[in-house]
Amino acid sequence: MIQALSISFLLSLTGLGSPLPAGADPHVIRVGETYWMYPTESGAPEPLFAAYRSTDLKEWKREAVILKLSDLPWVKEDPAPRRLAWAPSMLEKNGRYYFYYSVGPQSAQFPSHIGVATGDSPTGPFRDSGGALLTGGNGFEAIDPMAFTDPVNGKTYLYTGGSDGARLRIFELEDEPVKIRREVPTTTPPHFTEGSFMHRRGDTYYLSYSNGRWNRDEYSVHYATAPSPVGPWKYRGMILSKDEERQGPGHHSFVESPDGEWFIVYHRWETKERPGPYRGRRQIAVEKIQYDEKGLILPVVMTGPAGD
């Protein structure tokens, strides 16, 4: 079984030295030969977002701070006692870059928000839209945005939804994707908690997402497939979960290399302790994705320093 293979073989299989720098919720895109990563920052002096650059998914350089919540009047005017910068995503469309981000936490009195900013490059400069694109409440948590443009119909969709209510919602965005055109009816697939991601391979659409509590060992990645970007979903199972030395892997993104290989970028806790709750910094890691002859994703085996 693959679990019995040596760490050195697994690293040669993936070609990656996991884990990457500390952080969480990494969203990675590729522009030409360059990868760009946008995580939830770990240890930042204030709530902000930054862009990281790599050419090989191994070595990353922090290129620029692209957005600070302290620079956004609409966030500063929010009456909530605390606002944090979480779980961003980046969309490239027609040569422009659209940066979607979460402003949390959510409480009964103060809902969470999703904002959007626009720039001319992966590092901006970015101009914020000036207000919330979407606000939570009534059993829905507006966090973890993920934007995807369907190469078939050209429409851009926003996938969102978090642990407060654990409900998936999908919105079709305007052609200039800084406003919502309409909500698209959908169902919430089994074991959905948060952190949805959409990628397309061949004619199949893969909706992947995290399940469980983010700071416990149970956190994991599941997925469903569909013939369209909005369903109907067919649940396919769990593909990434804890092992003996790494706990709570999740909140991920998929990225395709120039030669057609797929990788998952995610965060995890580097510890043997169970079940949590864990504190401190999470680690970002990368693994190669394998598909079977039917196009289903094979279970992902975590690699990296925890097993050295």
Could you report the per-residue pLDDT of 262-280, keeping only the tens digit for each? 999 999 999 999 999 999 9
Could you report the per-residue pLDDT of 157-200, keeping only the tens digit for each? 999 998 888 899 999 999 999 999 999 999 999 999 999 999 99
**Rounded distance, CA 2 to CA 9, Å?**
10
**Rounded distance, CA 83 to CA 85, Å?**
7
**Rounded distance, CA 69 to CA 305, Å?**
34
Give the domain CATH number at 167: 2.115.10.20
Residue 302: pLDDT above 60? yes
Question: 100 and 87 in contact (C-beta within 8 Å)?
Answer: no
Residue 16: pLDDT above 90? no
pLDDT of residue 163: 85
Structure tokens, 244: 């003996």
Quote the domain boundaries for residue 80: 2-307
Number of domains in the chain: 1
Which residue from 40, 39, 33 is spatially nearest to 54, judged by alpha carbons? 33
Average pLDDT of 282-291?
97
Mean pLDDT estimate for the chain: 92
Average pLDDT of 4-24?
48
Residue 12: pLDDT above 80? no
Question: 219 and 210 in contact (C-beta within 8 Å)?
Answer: yes
Give 10's pLDDT tier (boundaries 50, 70, 90).
Answer: very low
Give 300's pLDDT tier (boundaries 50, 70, 90).
Answer: very high
Q: Tokens 């997925």 appear where?
A: 223
The least confident of 14-18, 35-39, 92-96, 208-212 is 14-18
Q: Tokens 């309409």 appear where?
A: 182
- CA–CA distance from 75 to each of 17, 45, 63, 67, 280 (Å)? 37, 17, 24, 12, 26
Residue 118: pLDDT above 90? yes
Could you report the per-residue pLDDT of 202-250, keeping only the tens digit for each? 999 999 999 999 999 999 999 999 999 999 999 999 999 999 999 999 9
